[in-house]
Amino acid sequence: MTGELTTTTPVARGVDAPAAAPGTPGGSGGRARGARRLPPSLVVGAVLVGLVAVVGLVSLVWTPYALDDTGTGERLAGPSAAHWGGTDRLGRDLLSQLMTGAGNALVVAAASMLVAGVLGVAVGVLAGATRRWVDVTLLSGVDLLIAFPTLLLAMLIVTVRGASLSSAIWAIGISGAAVIARVTRVNVARVLREDYVTAAHAAGTGWWGVVLRHVVPNVWPTLLVQLMLLGGGAVLAEASLSYLGLGAPPPNASWGRLLQEAQSTMLVQPWGAILPGLAIVVAVLGLNLLGDGIRERTDPNLRGDR
């Protein structure tokens, strides 16, 4: 079955493979497509991502306190009416920093999804739709990149370019592009072998016609799912990098760095270490659920078996 191609390769590892299992054994729901109830994961995922997005957008125009406002004094204070999340070791408002961190996480997720999407689709289509030697050459490069851990690629790039937001985005985006290229290639090649494509060719439809009419509609749901999961991975990876001090430098608020800064004082003010972690979980869980939800909604094989 087609499911095998995308799932047994370790390519789509992480969050992809588990949900694929119910899909392979013939499915139980049949073709129950249509305007029925939305999958709960889609709804919950959309709400969580929406929450992060709204907070991130609001932080662009308003935060309760300015980021560098050390206020009237209380350092490492617990949550209060004036400071809902408490304050950090310099007396800065934690909630304001968390809100700005949401914006940062969104930028990283969106930008790396863009890099991965553009690069990955281009390479994947090229590999799936052209001559065999192009395919083999591109795929071996892609496989090497997939085996190359994101964190190590990021460290290489940071060593050379220095720690910055763009270094993180390039590292995460390039790693993700390899996965997207793999998925795109498998699906493009599969669609191009279908009888209806042969029929379209026979009926005189040109290459672009086939791509737009048949390939894109068949491939985009899978890609969208992969991109969402990639977004979740991007938020996690950026948090790890900035926790290690390899992310965007200080004026930018990043959840990972907030957590790292709060670690040494967490016996006094535990919220400083708890809240940034919760924020990361909300964003990543939201994107993962959104991905799962889109897959359930668009893949009829997954219906009713969860």
Tokens describing residue 170: 């390039």
Q: Which of 101, 128, 173, 232: binder of another protein (CB under 8 A)?
A: 232
- Which range of residues in 12-20, 75-83, 106-114, 119-127 is near another protein by CB under 8 A? 12-20
**250 sits near another protein (criterion: CB under 8 A):** no
**19 sits near another protein (criterion: CB under 8 A):** yes
**51 sits near another protein (criterion: CB under 8 A):** no
**169 sits near another protein (criterion: CB under 8 A):** no
The site string for another protein over 263-282 (x = CB under 8 A, - otherwise) reads: x--xx--x--xx-xx--xx-
Q: Which of 6, 22, 102, 303: binder of another protein (CB under 8 A)?
A: 22
Q: Which of 25, 50, 206, 304: binder of another protein (CB under 8 A)?
A: 25
Shorter beta-carbon distance to another protein: residue 129 or 241: 241
Q: How far is the CB of 118 from another protein (least distance, A)?
A: 21
Residues that bind another protein (CB under 8 A): 8, 10, 13-15, 17-22, 24-26, 140-141, 143-144, 147-149, 151-152, 155-161, 232, 236, 239-240, 243-246, 256, 259, 263, 266-267, 270, 273-274, 276-277, 280-281, 284-285, 288-289
